[in-house]
Amino acid sequence: MKILKFGGTSVGSPESIKKVAEIVADIEGEKIVVLSAMSQTTNVLHQITDAIGASNFVEANSILDMMVDRYKTVIEGLYSTDNIKKTANAFIEERFDFIKSYAHEGSVEYISAIEKIIVAQGEILSTNLFDMYMNEIKVESSLLSAFDFMRIDEAGEPDSDFITESLGNIVEANPNTSIYITQGYICLSHLGDVDNLKRGGSDYSASLIGAAIQAEEIQIWTDIDGMHNNDPRYVDNTFSLKEISFDEAAELAYFGAKILHPQSVIPAKEKNIPVLLKNTFNPESAGTIICNCSVPASKVRAIAAKDGITAIRIKSYRMLMAYGFLKNIFEVFEKFKTSIDMVTTSEVAVSLTIDDDSNLDKIVKELENIGIVKVDTDLSIICLAGDFSEKQKGGSAAIFNSLTNIPIRMISYGGSNYNVSLLVNSIDKIKALRDLNKGVFTEN
Ligand code: ADP
Ligand code: ASP
Ligand code: MG
């Protein structure tokens, strides 16, 4: 069994949906097709819930009307039979009426639950429309609701046992089905309420599904020919990598390479399932394979950046690194369930970074019992993934020589053999990525 995940742009227009169907039909063997919502849909659904949350029902309805128009145009361009057009129009009308039913004062109080129900409609729409298209072109497929198997636990983490058991039962009960179509991103909570795997979560769905059924391969089809050596949104002359290791890919995804959801490499890595990144709009291109393969060592393989970082410095009142000082600090973060990304220490102080600042005030208040606290915001972590083991010489020189004009707030080196992280002001991020691209990859 293979998992084939297609992102928002890949299902964003009638032409691309047709391309996706062609790719799915061309790939041999059994497969589970995981789809995102059509491009922009999740953003627009969030705008609608924001408008409902602000009691702005006129705006919510007018955004909805524009959405209905877009989906009607897609239906017109996608199907050729009147019968299927009629079914598809009836389906979207029913879904949009359902969303409209929340656009009233009574919803405002329950907006966070309603938001999840509303944003889930994006993937429900795309998968149903795709299934109808497969039906029209006579490719047999079976629509599978993600709510039947995708679940998160109380801590918001995927409930792997439940996913494995439920999916296993479904596949076992349907021996003649060779193409399943299901929604990425959406799931149920441990209480059975509609929930999701956070923005970009369809990659994570694909990887969790692949791990649950021990798939032979997970394919992530998107709008670019695989993982590039640097962020193509900010840097020119980036290039696609043929192969990268699970560890490198996991670091890059976690530290901002948007092509993959931050957690999506982990389930594949745990089950040693290769992940192939492919371009829907250029399927001939080899793309990138993420595997346990022995990728030839490279000083720096790729660079990514993550914004919205807050740095916290705690200086010991006792001016000497007291025994238990670090433990006391980490306990505060544990108490507020806030994970730490980077840590550096000096004799008297510790600096660390977080990306979730929802409990920052409480964290700072408690840390002030331990030492003098200083908070800096609007920072970015630049992550360099590659081989930084002792056998590689000169990698760090190339990195720092590239950044002579950029103030660096923190450096993390040696935490693992395959990552170096630098903390910079967000306003310097793009320059840092470009300077590193020139300095590091020319050096290589
Ligand atoms: P999808 O909708 O298919 O999930 P995304 O927009 O989430 O697609 O991810 C693909 C985008 O990720 C690319 O268009 C590219 O702009 C961006 N991106 C950021 N960093 C990288 C990188 N290192 N390699 C490739 N793409 C990247
Ligand atoms: N549709 C969701 C989002 O836009 C999930 C995804 O595309 O992966 O975040
Ligand atoms: Mg994505």
Ligand 2 atom closest to 198 (CA): 9
CA separation for the pair 188, 181 (Å, rounded): 18
Domains (ranges, CATH) in the chain?
2-223 (3.40.1160.10), 300-443 (3.30.2130.10)
Q: Ligand 1 mean position to 105 CA, how many Å?
A: 38
Which residue's alpha carbon is nearest to atom 4 within ligand 2?
A: 42
Beta bridge partners of 144: 182
Ligand lying closest to the C-alpha of residue 199:
2
Q: Ligand 2 mean position to 197 CA, how many Å?
A: 9
> What are the DSSP calls for 41-106, one per residue?
HHHHHHHHHHHHHTT-HHHHHHHHHHHHHHHHHHHHHH---HHHHHHHHHHHHHHHHHHHTT-SGG
Beta bridge partners of 252: none
- pLDDT tens, residue order, the chain (444 aa): 999 999 999 999 999 999 999 999 999 999 999 999 999 999 999 999 999 999 999 999 999 999 999 999 999 999 999 999 999 999 999 999 999 999 999 988 889 999 999 999 999 999 999 999 999 999 999 999 999 999 999 999 999 999 999 999 999 999 999 999 999 999 999 999 999 999 999 999 999 999 999 999 999 999 999 999 999 999 999 999 999 999 999 999 999 999 999 999 999 999 999 999 999 999 999 999 999 976 666 678 999 999 999 999 999 877 565 778 899 999 999 999 999 999 999 888 999 999 999 999 999 999 999 999 999 999 999 999 988 877 777 678 889 999 999 999 999 988 888 889 999 999 999 999 999 999 998 644
Rounded to the nearest 10°, the torsion over CA 244, 428, 404, 418 is -20
Residue 429, helix vs strand vs coil: helix
CA separation for the pair 273, 283 (Å, rounded): 21
Residue 435: closest CA among 396, 393, 385, 398: 398
Whole-number CA gyration radius for the chain: 24
- Confirm if 298 and 386 have CB atoms less than 8 A apart: yes
Instruction: With residue 137 as reference, give the H or E element that holds it.
Output: none
Residue 243, helix vs strand vs coil: strand
Among 258, 281, 288, the mutation site with the greatest number of ligand 1 atoms within 8 A of its Cβ is 258
Q: Please work out whether the CB of residue 46 comes within 6 Å of at least one atom of ligand 2.
A: no
Query: What's the token pair of residue 17?
Result: 């949906």
